[in-house]
Amino acid sequence: MALKSTVFKAELAVADIDRGYYADHVVTLARHPSETDERMMVRLLAFALHADPQLAFGRGLSTEDEADLWQRDLTGRIERWIDVGLPDERDIRKACGRADDVQVIAYGGRAVALWWSDVRERLAKQARLTVREVPVEASQALARLAQRSMRLQCTIQDGHVWMADGTTSVPIELVALQLRDGH
């Protein structure tokens, strides 16, 4: 018998001062049995970083050829494709052909450096691609915020990010590994 996903709910208040975006979102996260709290919370961070009424979560780890998050316009065209973790380089190149903007939010400590050294040269020509790393201390601190029902605030200012639950605040200094052309 297949294991079912665990449902997490988050009330997320986003104050993105850099973009002038201020909104509250009620988000439902289905955590696949093989997904860790750390990965799920990095997905939630990715949502907060790119928050938009049209941004939606993909169907999850067991669904190939689909982003962790994506934003489509009214015609169905993919405006933004977001993957979390250390995706396969071929999948990233395919996403760059399908979406206007591709974001990879990498996490995993030393594994990120190994993955990036392996794929960096082959991805350097992808003009639509941005790759940023969440330092391991921050991703692990985010995992400790995970609860089945969460009320979180995310503040983004001058490239600095804070995720807080009312008692704990997690500062997150994303490391840019590659920025898309023009940014």
Q: What pTM was computed for the model?
A: 0.94
> Is 60 exceeded by the pLDDT of residue 62?
no
Domain boundaries, given as residue ranges, for the chain: 33-150+172-178
| pLDDT (0 to 100) of residue 157 | 97
- Give the side-chain half-sphere CA count within 13 A for 27: 33
Confidence of residue 2 (pLDDT cuts 50, 70, 90): low
Whether the predicted pLDDT of 90 surpasses 80: yes
Give per-residue pLDDT as tens, 105-121: 999 999 999 999 999 99
pLDDT number for residue 61:
56
The pLDDT score that the predictor gives to residue 39 is: 96
Partnered with residue 166 across adjacent β-strands are none
Topology classification of domain 33-150+172-178: Restriction endonuclease-like alpha-beta roll fold (3.10.640)
How far is the C-alpha of 179 from the C-alpha of 183, rounded, in Å?
6
Mean of the per-residue pLDDT values of the chain = 93
Mean pLDDT on 2-7:
80
E-strand ranges in the chain read 6-16, 21-31, 55-57, 69-72, 78-84, 99-106, 129-133, 149-157, 160-164, 169-172, 175-178
**Which is nearest to 67 in space by CA: 53, 81, 51?**
81
Question: How far apart are alpha carbons 68 and 106 in whole angstroms?
Answer: 12
Q: Are 41 and 11 in contact (CB under 8 A)?
A: no
Query: What's the one-letter identity of residue 153?
Result: Q
* Mean pLDDT, residues 60-89: 88
Structure confidence by residue, pLDDT tens digits, 132-179:
999 999 999 999 999 999 999 999 999 999 999 999 999 999 999 999
